Structure formats: C-alpha cells, structure tokens
Amino acid sequence: MPTPTCGKVEYGGEGRPDGLIVSDLPLQGDSAERSSQQEQAIRLILDQRGWKAGATPVAYQACDDSIAKTGLWDAATCRSNADAYLKDRQVLGVIGTYNSGCAAEEIPILNRGGVAMISPGNTAVCLTEPSKGCEGGQPASLYPSGTRNYSRVVPNDAFQGAALAEFAKQKGIANPFVLYASHDPTSTGQAENCRGAAQALGLTLGGYETWNQKAKSYASLFAKVKRSGADGVVLAGLIEQNGAQLIKDKLAVLGSNTELPLIAFDGFAQQATIDDSGSASKGMFASVPGDTPENLPAKGKALVNDLEGTTNGQPVEQFAPYAAEAAAVLLDAVAEAGTNRGGIAKAVLATRGGGGILHPYDIEPSGDPSVGPITVLRADSSFSRFGEVTPQPAVVRAARD
C-alpha cells in the first residue's frame, strides 16, 4: 500500500503472493497494545495456513487509522486509508476497523468496489441494522451499491445494552444514571440501547447525560448524579475519552464502586482503565462483546496460548482472538472466491459455522454474527487485567433489543 499510514508488506509463504489483506486499526495512544495484539493474532493465522487462502498465496500489511495528536482514530485518515485500499486492486479484503466511527467512514468507500471488510471490534448497531439514533440514513447510506460488503464477528451494542441493563437489575440497581461521551455517535448509540433495555426491564433512570471529553473535572456532573438519587452509574464510551478522570471524580464524589456500582461498556474493558485511573477503578464492572479468552473453544484457547508468548508478559486482550477469527473468515472467503473482490465479500457474508477460533456462529445477511454472548467482568487493582475475580466470568446472553 502506498499510504504512509501502513507498515511494510509481510509475507512468509513460498514464491510470490497473488493478493494482499490489510488490517486497519488504531496503533497509537491507549489502543496501541490492544491493536498490536490483534495484528499478531492475524499473523498467527497466516502462519498456520502457510500464508495461503486455499490455492491463493496472500501477503499482509498493517495500517494505522489513528493520529499522534490525539492517539485516537481520525476520520480523514480512515477515509484516506479506505481510498487507498479501494484503488489498489491487490487488496482482497480489510480486517477492521476497531472503532465504529472509523468503520462508518470506510464502509461506503469500500462498498463502491465491493471490497470485503470484516471487523473484530465494531459494535455500533447502525453499521448493520436500523436503530433509534442512527444518523444520516444509516445503515442504508453506508452501502451505496445496494449490496453489503461489511460484516463483524462480535455482537453489536443492542446485545451489550440489554446485557448491561439485565446485569444492573441483577445487582439490585433500580435507578441507574447513564452517562455517555459527548459528540460521539457510537457512545450515543450505546447509551440509547442501554436506556431502552433498562426501561423495558422496569428500571427507572436516575438521569441520562453526556460528559464533556475535554473537561478538567467532573465533580459537578457527579454532584448532579448524587442529587438524583441514582444507585448506580453506567458509562457508554471509551477510556480514551477522558475516562480515567471521569472514574477518579466518580470515586471522589460518589464513593467507591462497592458503595455505588460503576458499570461500563467495552470501551473501558482494557488494561489502560486500570493503569490510568488506578485504585479508582477497583470493583467497577465492564462488559465485553463475546467470550473472554478463557472461555473459547479448544482451537481458540490454543491460539491464545500462542499469543501469550508474544505479549511481553501482558495479558491477552479480549479482541485479539476476534482479530484471528476475522482473519480466518476472510481467508476462507478468499479460498472460495480467489482474487475476485465481489466474490470474496459475498463468501464472507455466507459464512456458516465461523472460522474456528470462536464458538460456532453464522454471519447473517445484515453482517452480524448469529450468536451474541456478552461477558461482564470486574476490575481489581491487585490484578493485571479484568476477569480474574472468578474462574468463570458471568456470561449474559442477551436477545436483541
């Protein structure tokens, strides 16, 4: 790829490759370690398959959709990357993105050329299905050709919202206060799904407001939460959106997470939450779409074991096996369709049983997986990661809201 956001072309097979798969992930800021593990998981799948998809030898290139200034995904970079993938006929498919907002920038561009895109981390409902709060005519507006080219291997936020509302009810929370990151459609969508599910379960929201990502303090916001009488707080957004300060100020105003529970979407379910917010995160809960590495089938656990040898002592991130799964599904599609881009996208959407790293599922016509497990984990500062409080973290299987 000619774009400066991509690394070198990698190829470990014999002869010369006939095509290229790329990953598109945020490689800077708090996402760097998580994305690095996803890239390594993709390489492991390629190694296992001899860098071939059926009879087609394939190379790999890792691309970055974030910028140094913010450490976050960048809309202009996402569009530029997608343009480069579309124009380079060697690109057979894209593994990514991690952030749903970036996916919304890339999908319509890739859709014009029928380029397959399969995500290990996008959870916004509006990428695949109509929902309250969808902007700009999504999802239909994302597919100008009228034919779907996008899929994902993780459940969407309708599953997460329903699961978190159910979990809050199980914890005895009757009046949760929902906070979501300002000016972020993904966070808004998460909050909407959680609010709808909570109301359906008979919970009464203590409040529903945004947090300013650039604020220096959230003391006044949590003072408002306290006045509302809320008995729990739900966060929809990312730790990168000034989440550490949010968590610290929650502790200062409302007390520990044992005194008043703090529950968050998957954007907080990463090591950076503990590292950046310290003891203030102790005892908070966070959901993750899908199963944890410990709860994968034998093939998935074997991959996690291989990954552990490459992480420099860091725990395997939740989304790393999902990147491996996305790679396996894409390679299976290339094995079926060869280098025909439209055929590859069609084959991905016809996936039955999955790629083998996860428990079996089908990819539905919308692009969503047919199975949507949601795992709720607890953070503890005495552990290096989420989910070590119990040997088998609770799994909530949520129906679509």
pLDDT value of position 375: 84
Q: What is the mean pLDDT of the chain?
A: 91
Do the beta carbons of residue 330 and residue 116 sit within 8 Å? yes
Residue spans of the domains in the chain: they are 19-155+294-370, 157-289+374-397
Same CATH fold assignment for domains 19-155+294-370 and 157-289+374-397: yes
Does 97 sit behind a cis peptide bond, omega within 30 degrees of 0 on the bond before it? yes
The reply to whether CATH 3.60.21.10 applies to domain 19-155+294-370 is no
Do the beta carbons of residue 53 and residue 332 sit within 8 Å? yes
Note the pLDDT tens digit of each residue in 212-266. 999 999 999 999 999 999 999 999 999 989 999 999 999 999 999 999 999 999 8
Structure tokens at 88: 């380079």
- Per the CATH hierarchy, to which homologous superfamily does domain 157-289+374-397 belong? Response regulator (3.40.50.2300)
| Look-up of token digits 């993780």 | 154
Note the pLDDT tens digit of each residue in 144-177. 999 999 999 999 988 889 889 999 998 999 999 9
pLDDT value of position 3: 75
Parts of the chain with a pLDDT under 70: 381-401
pLDDT value of position 269: 83
User: For residue 377, what are the β-bridge partners?
Assistant: 286
pLDDT value of position 25: 98
Concatenating the DSSP letter of every residue in 88-124 gives -TTEEEEEE-SSHHHHHHHHHHHHTTT-EEEESS---
- Written as one letter, the residue type at 301 is K
Residue 145 CA from chain centroid, whole number: 26
**Burial of 74 by CB count in 10 Å (0-12 exposed, 13-18 middle, 19+ buried)?**
buried
CA end-to-end distance (rounded Å), the chain: 40
Q: Which of 247, 252, 243, 318 is nearest to 283 (CA)?
A: 247
Do the beta carbons of residue 68 and residue 61 sit within 8 Å? no
Do the beta carbons of residue 303 and residue 41 sit within 8 Å? yes
Separation of alpha carbons 252 and 263, rounded Å:
17
pLDDT value of position 381: 53
Separation of alpha carbons 132 and 272, rounded Å:
31
CA atoms within 13 A on the CB side of 225: 30
| Residue 270 dihedral angles phi and psi, to the nearest 5° | -150, 160
Write the CA distances from 193 to 108, 135, 162, 265, integer angstroms. 24, 15, 7, 11
